[in-house]
């Protein structure tokens, strides 16, 4: 009976993580169609869930205690204090707290969730979630096709809130369909996550049913076609590029992909026969051509600049930003709405530029360095897992590292996918052992040992044994 009691916090914690996932997928549905009058409040609907996850993680003794969280906490508190000092002469107490508070939650509040997911879930949980991701891609694709074919001002293409604004256009009288999300950015990350699970299933045997692979594969191809977004295609291509690492470290896995090549061929043949796909590809092709001509670059060069242009922007702003920055939240749409009543970009649209201008060249650079180092360490973690025969962490890393590195954290959907997908990447390295092997099957992944912990500290915290395929990255 005692053991069941001890398992309850982990069970509740997993349920809260699943709630976070479903709210991430359907947040835009509430903001656009069901409760548009409460759109501004629903913008932060996942924040209470995050706080509940942290509270339950502390109760379950899996809340992260590592150098990453410690350094993030220091940067976060200093950034908030400096922002309060910078903005205090210009704002009254209410907008001061609202703007800087929104900036704090955008930059820092959700990031520890990465490590909580990495400890609370194991690989079987990650695979189960992937089943729902692929299943959900099928109706998502249908909705995207309907939005693509509908008029820009149709009800199905509404934006969040009660305003008269429209979704971003893709050309030819078409909008970039957002699906259940508020904007097309959600489709970008959902397509990348779906591609990661599809590629993993293609390289593994018996992970998901064949009918699901065929259906989700077709849905992904159609999603790319009707998205009207170059970023959707780029995100999927980045996931596919992870095959290069697999060829180097685990070439035997490619043999299984060859067995599933028939799925790829059938999916492409069916997709090319769909009128909506043909029209979508034409619109997307026109966008590539028009942008390349306007910027006088090749299509490949335009994609590369779109990927890495944000880095150079941040560096250029370092000499222009005040030493203490302009204040947390000023560069986010939410902070701008508190300040001006309109959701606009007051500083810059690029993430690195926003961070530098908000927090200044010292604290802003420190936060960007934290994100960069964390991204690189996730990459090393994924490669170590690949060498041990686990390819799922690498697939998920390919789907999430760009959002962690340069994703716009001021946009809640981008922030949600960055933290959730990277958390899944860590959790995919937790292998549930078989009872036949004589090892205990934990109800939750074992808590890895903290690096350089003394025997006395280890005794205080009662750290259990490390799981099979140990990797103590989450606590370094």
Q: How confident is the model at residue 2, as a pLDDT? A: 40
Q: Confirm whether 57 is domain-assigned.
A: no
DSSP-assigned letters across all residues of 48-80 = HHHHHHHHHHHHTT-S--SHHHHHHHHHHHHHH
pTM of the complete model: 0.86
Share of the chain above pLDDT 90, in %: 60
Q: Residue 40 and residue 285: Cα distance in Å, rounded?
A: 35
Q: Which residues contact 90 (CB under 8 A, 6 or more apart)?
A: none
Q: Is the pLDDT of residue 350 over 80?
A: yes
Spell out the SS3 assignment of 256-308: HHHHCHHHHHHHHHHHCCCHHHHHHHHHHHHHHHHHHHHHCCCHHHHHHHHHH
- What count of other Cβ atoms lies within 10 Å of the Cβ of residue 104? 18
pLDDT in tens, 236-261: 999 999 988 888 888 877 766 666 66
pLDDT in tens, 140-149: 999 999 999 9
Helices (H), 388-411: 392-406
Q: Which two tokens stand for residue 353?
A: 């530029």
117: left (phi over 0), alpha (psi -120 to 50) or beta: alpha
Q: Residue 46 and residue 459: Cα distance in Å, rounded?
A: 36
pLDDT in tens, 26-64: 999 999 999 999 998 999 999 999 999 999 999 999 999
Q: Residue 450 and residue 463: Cα distance in Å, rounded?
A: 9
Q: Which two tokens stand for residue 257?
A: 């992909």
Q: Which two tokens stand for residue 158?
A: 């509404």
Q: Residue 445 and residue 469: Cα distance in Å, rounded?
A: 12
Query: For the chain, what is the domain count?
Result: 1
Q: Is the pLDDT of residue 131 over 60?
A: yes
Q: Which residues contact 154 (CB under 8 A, 6 or more apart)?
A: 147
Q: Residue 7 and residue 425: Cα distance in Å, rounded?
A: 23
Tell the residue number behind the tokens 């896995």, with chain if given: 253
pLDDT in tens, 364-423: 999 999 999 999 999 999 999 999 989 999 999 999 999 999 999 999 999 999 999 999
- What count of other Cβ atoms lies within 10 Å of the Cβ of residue 375? 18
Q: Confirm whether 458 is domain-assigned.
A: no
The domain in which residue 99 lies consists of 65-103+121-437
Mean per-residue pLDDT for 287-312? Answer: 61
Q: Which residues contact 457 (CB under 8 A, 6 or more apart)?
A: 450
Q: Confirm whether 444 is domain-assigned.
A: no
Q: Which long-range contacts (CB under 8 A, 24 or more apart) does 35-39 make?
A: 36/158, 36/160, 36/161, 36/162, 37/162, 39/160, 39/161, 39/162
Q: How many helices (H) and strands (E) does the chain have?
A: 20, 2
Q: Is the pLDDT of residue 4 over 50?
A: no
Q: Is the pLDDT of residue 219 over 70?
A: yes
Mean per-residue pLDDT for 341-351? Answer: 83
State how far the alpha carbon of 320 is from the alpha carbons of 291, 313, 324, 354, 410, in Å. 29, 11, 11, 12, 21
């Amino acid at each position: 009976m005692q053991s069941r009691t001890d398992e309850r916090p982990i069970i509740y914690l997993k349920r809260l993580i699943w709630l976070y996932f479903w709210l991430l997928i359907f947040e835009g549905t509430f903001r656009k169609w069901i409760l548009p009058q409460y759109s501004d409040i629903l913008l932060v609907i996942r924040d209470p869930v995050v706080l509940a996850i942290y509270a339950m993680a502390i109760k379950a003794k899996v809340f992260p205690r590592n150098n990453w969280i410690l350094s993030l906490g220091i940067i976060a508190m200093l950034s908030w204090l400096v922002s309060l000092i910078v903005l205090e002469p210009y704002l009254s107490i209410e907008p001061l707290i609202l703007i800087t508070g929104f900036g704090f939650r955008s930059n820092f509040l959700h990031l520890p969730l990465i490590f909580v997911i990495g400890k609370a879930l194991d690989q079987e949980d990650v695979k189960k979630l992937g089943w729902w991701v692929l299943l959900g891609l099928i109706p998502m694709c249908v909705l995207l096709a309907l939005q693509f074919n509908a008029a820009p001002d149709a009800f199905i293409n509404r934006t969040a809130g009660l305003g008269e604004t429209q979704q971003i256009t893709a050309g030819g009288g078409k909008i970039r369909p957002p699906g259940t999300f508020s904007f097309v950015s959600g489709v970008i990350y959902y397509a990348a996550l779906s591609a990661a699970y599809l590629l993993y299933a293609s390289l593994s045997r018996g992970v998901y049913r064949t009918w699901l692979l065929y259906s989700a594969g077709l849905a992904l191809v159609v999603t790319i076609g009707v998205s009207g977004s170059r970023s959707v295609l780029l995100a999927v291509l980045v996931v596919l590029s992870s095959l290069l690492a697999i060829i180097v470290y685990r070439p035997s896995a490619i043999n299984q992909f060859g067995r599933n090549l028939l799925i790829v061929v059938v999916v492409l043949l069916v997709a090319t026969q769909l009128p909506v796909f043909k029209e979508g590809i034409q619109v997307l092709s026109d966008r590539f051509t028009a942008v390349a001509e306007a910027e006088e670059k090749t299509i490949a060069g335009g994609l590369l600049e779109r990927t890495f242009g944000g880095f150079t922007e941040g560096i250029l702003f370092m000499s222009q930003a005040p030493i203490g920055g302009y204040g947390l939240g000023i560069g986010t749409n939410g902070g701008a709405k508190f300040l001006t009543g309109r959701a606009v970009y007051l500083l810059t649209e690029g993430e690195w530029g926003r961070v530098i201008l908000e927090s200044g060249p010292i604290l802003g650079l420190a936060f960007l360095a934290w994100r960069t180092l964390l991204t690189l360490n996730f990459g090393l973690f994924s490669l170590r897992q690949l060498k041990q025969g686990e390819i799922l962490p690498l697939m998920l890393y390919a789907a999430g590292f760009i959002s962690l590195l340069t994703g716009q954290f001021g946009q809640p959907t981008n922030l949600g996918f960055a933290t959730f997908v990277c958390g899944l990447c860590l959790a995919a390295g937790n292998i549930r052992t078989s009872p036949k092997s004589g090892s205990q099957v934990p109800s939750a992944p074992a808590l890895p040992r903290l690096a350089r912990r003394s025997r006395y500290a280890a005794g205080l915290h009662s750290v259990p044994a490390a799981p099979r395929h140990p990797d103590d990255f989450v606590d370094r």
